[in-house]
Amino acid sequence: MHRAVPGRRPVVVTTAALLALALAACDDGAAESTLDARAAWTEVTMPGSSQVAGPRETFTAALGRSGNLPALVAGSGGEPGEPASARAWTDSDDGDWRWQELLADGPESEVGFAVSDGSTTWIGGTTWQAGEPVSPYVVSSGDRQTWEVVELPGDAADRALRPGAAALVGGAPVVVGMDSADEPVALLLGADAELVSLPAAPGGREFHGFRGAATLGDTVVGVGSVAEPGRSAEAVVYRSTDGGASWTVTLGPAEGPADLSGVVATSGGFVVTGYLWGGDGVATPAAWSSADGAAWTAEALPTLDQDRDGLSVAPGDHSWLDVPAVSGDRVVAPVVVTSVLHFGVLQRDPAGTWTFLGDSPDWEFPGAGADAALNEDGSLLLAQSGRNLGRVGELSADGRWRNLLAEVGTLDYGMQFTSFLDPAGAPALIGRRPVVERRGVSGWAQTGQLANYALEGDALVERPWDPAETAGLSDIAAASAPDGSSVLLGAQVSQGGEGMTVDLVGWFRPGAGGPPVAVEGLASPVVESLEAVTYADGTWIAVGSVRSSFASTDPHAAAVWTSTDGTTWSRADGLVAGTAPGAESWAFGACALPGGELLAVGEYSEGAQTRPVAWRSTGGQWQRLDGSAFAAEFGSLSSCATDEGATIVQGTSEDRATVWRTTDGGTFEPTTIGGRGETFGTIRVVDGGYAAAGTVSARGQQGAVVWLSADAESWRAVPVPSARVLSGADVMADGNGGLVVATTSGASPEVWVLANPGELFADA
């Protein structure tokens, strides 16, 4: 929640041609197809161990029981490997919860909002197909059992509207969202339905979506998130006093870094919930109120007390107020703590006083919020989802957990792919599945369960671990030297007398097929995390981070380990990024500069803001490079490589994919290679040009792509033709003129082979 985590271990290809990288893109705001019928794709057969073990479910919104209308939870779900479909779950007289698909059989779909006036219910969202712009939909129902599609104006589809929230004006929804140009819009669904463009975000900021909407009379308030490119999110309020026909926009209700969860309306005005970022980079709950949606006042919230409330916030832990719910003048909102397995609920009375109402039982993993809704009897419906599992429970009007109403889906986050283990060799992938182990009363620890895969023909198959000891590791990275020697390192989690410990372990092979030799010097009293391993100019380098304990609130500090022979390692001193309270740093990549000095690159997070950081080793001493070296105040550095007298660093600057070039290790010349919503993974040299796996979430498009360039000057995105929304992980040559593209997701990953990239380079 507290920071954008970049893709791990992307290694810039070692070729001087990348020094001229530039992106030629056309963005006229239109939502257009990017499919290319010439692309010859083959989907690789995936092993069962890589897939989610059962059905997956995600909740988006909840509505309470009202009159003859049953309680409802809206979201999406699907079988392993299949597209997700928008769904509505409702309770029944016999206590069972049943779900119905909101749309007829079709492409993957999701829910963006659910609203009701007590007699009619509306649910809206988007449908998606690879390479095509998203398409909005709205359905309505008078009984929450049968649903009819609402006809939308043509420009809603033409501009690829993505609904974010909705509120009711005059018995019809006003839907706020984003269009294909990532600009705010409002869809008015009255008698004369129309799509209205809203003012741009203030001060040149970029709009990042609506978090909620509410109405009081003809006044409509939509709250959302904006940010200067690469900067921390700020809160924004859109306001209309004529039922949505015209709008104004202002920053607020918070000042500085903040994000909002939602907004509701009472007879006295509007109430907004969310969180503020402190100077120490820690998120804290916040709420604001306004009589008219224009002038806002921060409200006091109670301090959580473990003995009284059964919930508290440890130093350095993040917490926030989740989406609020309202009935009359009574407002409730879940309060969530990232390191705790359960959540609490705060209640606001008509006078604006917040008190602690109650809490939920522990769940399977920490930091899961809830969608809340008030039933007409005063009880509170709470719907949680995460890691493909969902549960629906109920809190009584006086704050007692009454019962668990339903549990759906499968607790399985799915296998995650990052990069190919050895892009210069045969296609092999290490998958990692996050696993939470419950320990004692409300205790937990998260580790990773690894799986080892290789591509054989058109199938990805599990392969034996070599050496066998690597089977129990939670992270793995490997590298090889020109003489055929190689190093494989990993993180080993163990339970000691004073709690969980994580040490790096590894093996060195003196040549291809040679016996592995255990390395020395990596283990230490601190908790160690591994990001990447490389061989550069006679030195083996591993990068990652360390922290004082396994506690999730302990900050990370960048770390580098080096070895000259592959067997004896030592951790370097001097990788200082900053000393501000709560600051964290990570090293993600390393290489040798043209002069032979070592360079490590990563990111530094302070006060909710991420900045690029790099360290250079001279005479065995590591020193941080001056912050101006990369001419990028905000962003991250993910990897580096040196070839033909120049070093290339890859990362992001102001939220845009960027590469930097240096020949002296002191001055780095930047080139932007991606636009907003476009990410690049590893850039590799392949037959006919250059390729990188990536993800596009721009111009109405969404999903995994492979970036292609014939000359390293202009690039095009070729969508991976999956039936599901995926993210690009890595790409490598298959040895036959084609490309193997690995993707990942929060459900099940996929691997595809593009047989004919050479035919597509000419258009790149």
- CA distance to 64, 421, 442, 547, 581, per residue, from 555 (Å): 40, 28, 22, 6, 9
**Of 159, 130, 135, nearest in space to 31 by CA:** 159
Average pLDDT over residues 684-705: 89
> Is the torsion defined by CA of 299, 206, 555, 319 positive or negative?
positive
At residue 13, the pLDDT reads 33
Q: Which two tokens stand for residue 589?
A: 């990549």
At residue 738, the pLDDT reads 95
pLDDT at 638 over 60: yes
More confident residue, 713 or 679: 679
Give the residue carrying structure tokens 């004006």.
Answer: 169
At residue 645, the pLDDT reads 87
At residue 26, the pLDDT reads 35
Give the residue carrying structure tokens 């969860």.
Answer: 261
CA distance 306 to 311: 5
pLDDT at 640 over 70: yes
DSSP 202: G
pLDDT band, residue 698 (cuts 50/70/90): confident
pLDDT at 10 over 70: no
At residue 764, the pLDDT reads 60
> Is the torsion defined by CA of 756, 716, 35, 684 positive or negative?
positive
pLDDT at 393 over 50: yes
pLDDT band, residue 695 (cuts 50/70/90): very high
> Is the torsion defined by CA of 618, 623, 626, 632 positive or negative?
positive
Q: Which two tokens stand for residue 397?
A: 């009007």
CA distance 14 to 297: 55
CA distance 254 to 235: 6
Provide the 3-class DSSP secondary structure of residue 628: helix
At residue 755, the pLDDT reads 96
Average pLDDT over residues 259-265: 98
pLDDT at 707 over 70: yes
Q: Other C-beta atoms within 10 Å of 330: how many?
A: 15
Summarize pLDDT for 181-223 with one digit per residue, the tens. Answer: 999 999 999 889 999 999 999 999 999 999 999 999 999 999 9
Average pLDDT over residues 526-555: 89
| Residue 550 and residue 531 in contact, taking contact as beta carbons nearer than 8 Å | no
Provide the 3-class DSSP secondary structure of residue 82: coil
At residue 20, the pLDDT reads 35
Average pLDDT over residues 666-678: 91
| Burial classification of residue 196, based on how many CB atoms lie within 10 Å of its CB (0-12 exposed, 13-18 middle, 19 or more buried) | middle
pLDDT at 14 over 80: no
pLDDT at 23 over 60: no
Mean of per-residue pLDDT scores for the chain: 91
Query: What's phi and psi for 605, nearest 5 deg?
Result: -115, 125
The three-point CA angle 588-591-596 to 5° equals 150
Q: Which two tokens stand for residue 668?
A: 């780095």
CA distance 536 to 453: 27
Give Cα 397 to chain centroid, integer Å.
35
Give counts: helices (H), strands (E), the chain.
Answer: 3, 56
CA distance 68 to 66: 6
pLDDT at 329 over 70: yes
Strand runs labelled E in 360-519: 371-374, 380-386, 389-395, 401-409, 428-439, 443-456, 459-462, 475-480, 486-496, 499-509, 517-518
The share of the chain scoring above pLDDT 70, in percent, equals 94
Summarize pLDDT for 57-81 with one digit per residue, the tens. Answer: 999 999 999 999 999 999 999 999 8
At residue 713, the pLDDT reads 66
At residue 17, the pLDDT reads 35
Average pLDDT over residues 282-297: 98
> Which positions ≥6 away from 456 have C-beta within 8 Å?
none
Q: Where are the domains of the chain?
A: 420-519
| Residue 478 and residue 470 in contact, taking contact as beta carbons nearer than 8 Å | no
Q: Which two tokens stand for residue 430?
A: 């290490």
3-state secondary structure 368-400: CCCEEEECCCCCEEEEEEECCEEEEEEECCCCC
How many CA atoms are closer than 13 Å to the CA of 721, on its beta-carbon side? Answer: 13
| Residue 529 and residue 502 in contact, taking contact as beta carbons nearer than 8 Å | yes
pLDDT at 567 over 50: yes
Provide the 3-class DSSP secondary structure of residue 155: helix
pLDDT at 25 over 70: no
Long-range contacts of 350-356 (CB under 8 A, 24+ apart): 350/266, 350/267, 350/268, 352/268, 352/289, 352/299, 353/300, 354/287, 354/299, 354/300, 354/301, 354/302, 355/302, 356/302, 356/304, 356/308, 356/309, 356/311, 356/399
Give Cα 735 to chain centroid, integer Å.
33
Summarize pLDDT for 458-491 with one digit per residue, the tens. Answer: 999 999 999 999 998 988 999 999 999 999 999 9
CA distance 243 to 396: 35
* Residues forming beta bridges with residue 273, ordered by sequence position: 262, 287
Query: What's phi and psi for 158, nearest 5 deg?
Result: -60, -35
> Is the torsion defined by CA of 581, 541, 567, 476 positive or negative?
positive
Average pLDDT over residues 250-270: 97
CA distance 430 to 502: 19
Q: In what order do the strands lie in the sheet with 206-216?
A: 206-216, 219-227, 234-240, 248-251
pLDDT band, residue 762 (cuts 50/70/90): low
pLDDT band, residue 550 (cuts 50/70/90): confident
| Residue 322 and residue 372 in contact, taking contact as beta carbons nearer than 8 Å | yes
Query: What's phi and psi for 278, nearest 5 deg?
Result: -85, 170
CA distance 554 to 528: 12
CA distance 397 to 408: 25
Q: What's the residue count for the chain?
A: 764
- Of 31-40, 610-619, 658-667, 694-703, give the lowest mean pLDDT range: 31-40
- Of 143-147, 169-173, 663-667, 692-696, give the lowest mean pLDDT range: 663-667
Query: What's phi and psi for 755, nearest 5 deg?
Result: -75, -25
At residue 712, the pLDDT reads 60
| Residue 603 and residue 636 in contact, taking contact as beta carbons nearer than 8 Å | yes
Give the residue carrying structure tokens 């008219």.
Answer: 292
At residue 111, the pLDDT reads 98
| Residue 634 and residue 6 in contact, taking contact as beta carbons nearer than 8 Å | no
Is residue 467 reached through a cis peptide bond, with omega within 30 degrees of 0 on the bond before it?
Answer: yes
At residue 4, the pLDDT reads 29
At residue 589, the pLDDT reads 94
The share of the chain scoring above pLDDT 90, in percent, equals 74
Most confident of the following: 343-352, 436-445, 608-617: 343-352
CA distance 539 to 105: 56
At residue 11, the pLDDT reads 30
* Residues forming beta bridges with residue 596, ordered by sequence position: none
